[in-house]
A and B are shown apart, each in its own frame.
Chain A
């Protein structure tokens, strides 16, 4: 049997090198504990944690999730245990693994975000992902991600104190994604991740009420993928900083589409709920694709479709 062709799947974002471009999308993977029963976390490019705030948040009332055609809506409301327990428990857990750790940071005010960023400065965290795009909380989050000047402001304040490279996670619920991407870049963001969920609604016609207690929720899953690919392509052509692409990725084919559109890495989100092995299967599929098309370095794929 012929020897397998040598391939390089490493990607580098803001000076951090990932063994492969496959990460987990915040909020779909906890801090890895639950899915560690199914997949070897050492194989992942990075674990991106569920959003964490400076204090515990109770989240929204139930029902918090509902199915939609080819996807789902969620309105969890960023329930999280707060930074103290997160550092002691979740980050301690992740230290056992040879993977990069990206912590998703959320807050109600700029001060809340700064508080979390500061608390993480001496911790074993490779990058910070700033959640300015959650559509399910009343204060903070998306309020900072839908206006270019607000996004610029919070990004520059975080960049002033952050010890780790900063990824700004963008919302698709905007008129022009390139405006947001440019504002984050101008404020010093090291990278972008997109897209967060698309705001949606579902009505239960039998009970004649909203399917979610929060009325609206964030849509994710395969049904949103074309929107995400389009936005990644637009942003990649508008800014120079790297992009982590996500939105409905189910397999290697989907992941490669995002890379070709200009993403330097990808995240698996809702599909973890449907197939807990999606991350590792995607990594394997990317390697198979590279061998099939004789691509020795994954960087050849990034932004290859102009």
Chain B
């Protein structure tokens, strides 16, 4: 189905860690949602006009509902965190390309999430589990012992945890967890902060692995028109005719070798 903007309804919302909110939204957009895609959520406050792009954490197409897990970082997400069940919201979706789940077939996969990059890994883990033809190793990094989604992720694969302060699992980041546990895989799917993605790109290149990384950038439209959210590409991009791809439409997921980050 085509992308569309619609009025959706908040079903429930809970705070699952300090500053991390878990919201279920009743919407038909759930039917089209692929792991790694995102939706735009529009604040009601008209001084904050631009939509907030938020990755899909889970899609329940049978029940027409989507789940987003997000961190409050400013006016828009602070407004969202106050929404209760029944609240009507404007959303646009589904946006972006999503993770290429077919690349996992017959392989051992790392699903790596750092901080607020963890939520899309849940929908991906679920999809790969349903696909049933690959082995999934989940590696997630947090700041401290305030973990979230780790127990749900464990339903779909073995979970390794890293925390910056060393309070749970390996001390450091997801790369430290790989090293400490001697983990190996054929393909990587990752979402997280830029330093983590850079480390993954380097790791994948050194080990000749495919790595599909989800990027983020400041966006306005979310549909490929404004050219705000570009990333540098290693080859000339077909659409732009320069070495720029649009994260919102050509991404947010790119094979690590395709992008210069």
Residue of A nearest to B226 (CB): A273
Chain B, interface size: which category? 20 to 34
The 0/1 profile, CB within 8 Å of B marked 1, for residues 143-164 of chain A is 0000000000000000000000
**Closest chain A residue to B50 by CB distance?**
A67
Do the beta carbons of B227 and A79 come within 8 Å of each other?
yes
When C-beta atoms are compared, the residue in chain A nearest to B3 turns out to be: A37
B224 & A58 in contact (Cβ 8 Å cutoff): no
Q: A74-B220, A273-B50, A275-B5 are in contact. Are A79 and B226 (CB under 8 A)?
A: no
Among B19-27, B56-64, B165-173, B238-246, the one that faces the other chain is B238-246
CB distance from A246 to the nearest CB of B (A): 16
Per the bound structure, the CA–CA distance linking A80 and B2 in Å amounts to: 26
Residues of B within 8 Å of A69, CB to CB, are 47
Interface range on chain A (Cβ under 8 Å from partner): 35 or more
Chain B residues with CB under 8 Å of A27's CB are: 226
Q: How far is the CA of A63 from the CA of B227 in the complex (A)?
A: 11
Instruction: State which residues 1-38 of B face A: CB under 8 Å.
Output: 2-5
Question: Is A109 part of the contact surface with B, judged by Cβ < 8 Å?
Answer: no
Contact A59 B230 (CB under 8 A): yes
Whether A63 lies near B217 (C-beta < 8 A) is yes
Q: Are A34 and B223 touching (Cβ within 8 A)?
A: yes
Q: Given the complex, which residues of B lie within 8 Å of A30, measured CB to CB?
A: 224-225
- A70 close to B (CB within 8 Å): yes
Q: If the complex has contacts A34-B224, A67-B50, A273-B226, are A58 and B42 also in contact, measured as CB distance less than 8 A?
A: no
Contact check: which of B46, B229, B239 meets A81 at CB < 8 Å?
B239
Contact between A66 and B227, CB atoms less than 8 A apart: no
B223 touches A65 (CB 8 A): no
Given contact pairs A37-B3, A72-B49, A274-B49, A56 touches B242 in the complex (Cβ within 8 A): yes
Residues of B within 8 A of A38 (CB): 2-5, 223
Specify which of B42, B47, B217, B244 is in contact with A79 (CB 8 Å cutoff).
B244
Asked whether A58 and B243 contact (CB < 8 A) given A272-B221, A273-B50, the answer is: yes
Q: Does B41 contact A (CB under 8 A)?
A: no
CB-defined interface of A39-80 with B at 8 Å, one 1/0 digit per residue?
A: 000000000001000001111001111110111101010010
| 18 CB-based A-B contacts, threshold 8 Å | A27-B226, A28-B225, A30-B224, A33-B224, A35-B223, A37-B3, A38-B4, A59-B230, A62-B217, A62-B229, A64-B229, A65-B50, A65-B220, A67-B49, A79-B230, A222-B46, A273-B225, A273-B226
Chain A interface residues (CB < 8 Å from chain B) = 27-30, 33-35, 37-38, 50, 56-59, 62-67, 69-72, 74, 76, 79, 81-82, 85, 221-222, 270, 272-277
